[in-house]
Chain A
Amino acid sequence: MELRQRYEEDLYLVRGALGWTALLGVLAALALLPYLAPGYFLYTASLIAAHIVIAVGLNLLVGYTGQISLGHAGFVAIGAYTAGILAARLGVPWPAAILGAGAVAAGFGFLVGVPALRLTGPYLTIATLGFGIAVNQVLTNWERLSGGRAGLFLPKLAVAGVRLPDSQIYYLFAGLAAVLLWGAFNLVRSHIGRAFVAVRDSDIAAEVMGVNLTIYKTLAFAVSAFYGGIGGAMLAYLLGYLEPQLFTLFESIYYFSMIVVGGLGTIPGSILGAALLTILPQQLAGLKQYLPLVYGATIVAVMALEPLGVYGRWLKIKLWFKTWPF
């Protein structure tokens, strides 16, 4: 058992030889994936990368800051359509389009955060839900902006005029997700992350201690929306086509389930939840009409058996191995 002797050791993301080996192993597996897996699997892997970014964003808001939001699909939609409009109508190249998507979504996140300062619990849930519905209806009916129900086509991802094949898209998305994950890990370990957790645990006590609620609550919304927007832009480029029905209340609930099933308030939990809930419906697609039954039952089973989510169970497994043979 390692003893921590310095504060810095507590802050390390990766600890010890075992940690580094595991991390390098995972990175190697991810890098080798295009050589081992068929094309459709790479599509799913890229989709998982986009969902991971979205889920991490939502977890920062719900898990770390305790603000229950059922309107995350609205931020994802704003990001996706910003990227779409920038790329398709204004010819902006994809790096700028993706960043622009994140920035615009973050702006909207800040705007939503302002009324959210007064609301908690189910009241905040309804307010964010309303935001999600409003975004959906505006995108459906403001046809000049979004193309309405006819949708919006995006140009394909290309570098120097050469179109990217599936494997390159996968590397791009995986790299983007890795960078954003690294950012999230560091954010959570910084004073901002601690402020978020303080707001979640008891916002009045936090304010008394000097945590400015206004700044940190709106910041949480903005950061969460930033991640959601980038995830949305990734979805837009992956699918190549956008339609308002891609971003409804159902999707907000879907992202919400991802983080809770994976592990609320943990970043690895978001990764696991996103991966699990993306793969599960696809693997079950052959069950046809029995899909909701099995999918729903799985979610219930996971949550009932392990309230801390999949990552929580993984932590318990690790702990059991660590304290073996007792």
Chain B
Amino acid sequence: MKTASRLCLVVALLVVAATGAGAQSQERGVTDTEIVIGSSQPLSGPAAFWGQGVGGGMDAYIRMINDRGGINGRKLRLVLRDDGYSPTRAVANVRELVERERVFAIVSLIGSANAFAVRDYIIENSVLWVTPTADANMWAGFRNKKYLFVTYPGYVDEGRILTTYAAQKEGAKSVAVFYQNDLYGQKGLLGIKRGVAETKIKLAGAVPYEVTDRDMSGHALKLRQSGADSVILYATPTQGALIVREMAKIGFTPKLFASFTLADPLMFQLAGDAWNGIILTAYFPVPGVGDVKVDGMLDALLKVNPQLRASPFNALAGVSFIEPFVEAVRRAGPNVTRDSVVRAFESMKNWDGDVIRGVTFGPNQHQGINRIYIIKSENRQYKKLTDWITYPVGF
């Protein structure tokens, strides 16, 4: 007992928080040999699938760049921290990344709630923020986006385009929506409502689900009851697969449409035959669609980190977030400061990366992509159905 107490005292004395010393640098996060960037992702907890895929993809891509010698003589260093999808921890992580790790830029940050929570701090401290992974429409009308650059679709626009395509090209007359009960699903539903109003078809029903829900029998019954001939899914892979299987089980076979998060090849495994003939959106060429550059990038990522095999779509999405930043740093040349990178970003016109395509920025346009295209699943592969469909630039 006494030794235990003494041991505890010693341990307690040893645990002294040390504040890290920042490296001397020209600009915060930039030295002659490296550029430090940071990201806060849900690496544990129920959202870990997204965080580990996106974070893993970004990390593998950065390692590839460094192996080739870096950018203009500087290597990139990515500092990843786990926020467990909790806004309080996301804020703490971002503050530590900016003040303690002294990062040059923050890349991505998954979740609208987390993005909202850290938004004011990042904007007020003029931190370069590249593609917060949340609904792009959230920035429309927001003040002071000088250091903010987004290459991520807006859910409302995407929902509208998918619905109008369904009505005009696939003959859908009444749609029911199965959506995740958070901003992702709710914004998608808003877009679908606009599409329904535009094409004068009927919105027969909307069935929400919570992320922890696993029993979809009631949801499938409600969708069938709505009498719709088409069902639009605004879901994530697990529940997307579950609802599709459940609908097949009760003999309900409507036309199926889905949002880009379900364009993951994982769905073929999870939903099996029920995933044939479904029509989805995508904002970058999906692996397997026949795009050499994307397939090549995926192979390269897998060579660096074979574990990404479990989440290829998310890894590629991670690359799509960070690619424009790497290009902007390249364009900024040897003098890397926040303002020079901002100018470099704004010089990008219809730029194609290996994954992301058609990125355009300007002094008044910080929404880098404003187009999606439609694909269809056939024989366990995705096939391109349309060319790029654009939507109005929001900011």
Contacts and interface: CB of A to CB of B under 8 A. Distances in A.
Chains A and B touch (C-beta atoms under 8 A apart): yes
A185 interface: no
Nearest to A153: B116
A150 B138 CA distance: 10
B186 A149 contact: yes
Contact of A285 (B8, B19, B93): B93
A106 B301 CA distance: 54
Given A38-B19, A281-B84, A241 B99 contact: no
A281 B5 contact: no
A283 B34 CA distance: 24
Contact of B52 (A141, A283, A285, A289): A289
Contact of B117 (A41, A44, A47, A241): A241
A260 B92 CA distance: 24
A153 to B, nearest CB: 8
A150 B79 CA distance: 29
Given A241-B116, A243-B113, A285 B81 contact: yes
B96 interface: yes
Given A38-B100, A149-B183, A285 B82 contact: yes
B1 A292 contact: no
A148 B190 CA distance: 14
A75 B343 CA distance: 48
Nearest to A136: B210
Nearest to B208: A141
Interface residues of B, number: 45
Interface residues of A, number: 40
Nearest to A40: B95
B181 A140 contact: yes
Interface in A179-230: none
Nearest to A137: B210
Given A285-B83, A289-B43, A316-B5, A240 B117 contact: yes
Contact of B4 (A148, A151, A239, A305): A305
B87 interface: yes
Contacts of B52: 289
A320 interface: yes
B2 A320 contact: yes
Interface string A135-155: 000001100000011110100
Contact of A149 (B81, B99, B119, B182): B182
A317 interface: yes
Given A150-B183, A235-B88, 20 more contacts: A38-B19, A40-B95, A40-B98, A41-B19, A43-B91, A43-B95, A149-B113, A149-B181, A150-B186, A151-B113, A153-B116, A239-B88, A240-B120, A245-B85, A245-B87, A245-B113, A246-B113, A282-B96, A285-B81, A287-B82
28 contacts: A39-B99, A40-B95, A40-B98, A43-B91, A44-B92, A140-B181, A149-B181, A151-B113, A241-B116, A241-B117, A241-B120, A243-B87, A246-B86, A279-B17, A281-B89, A282-B89, A282-B93, A283-B17, A284-B82, A285-B81, A286-B79, A288-B43, A288-B44, A288-B81, A305-B4, A306-B8, A317-B9, A320-B6
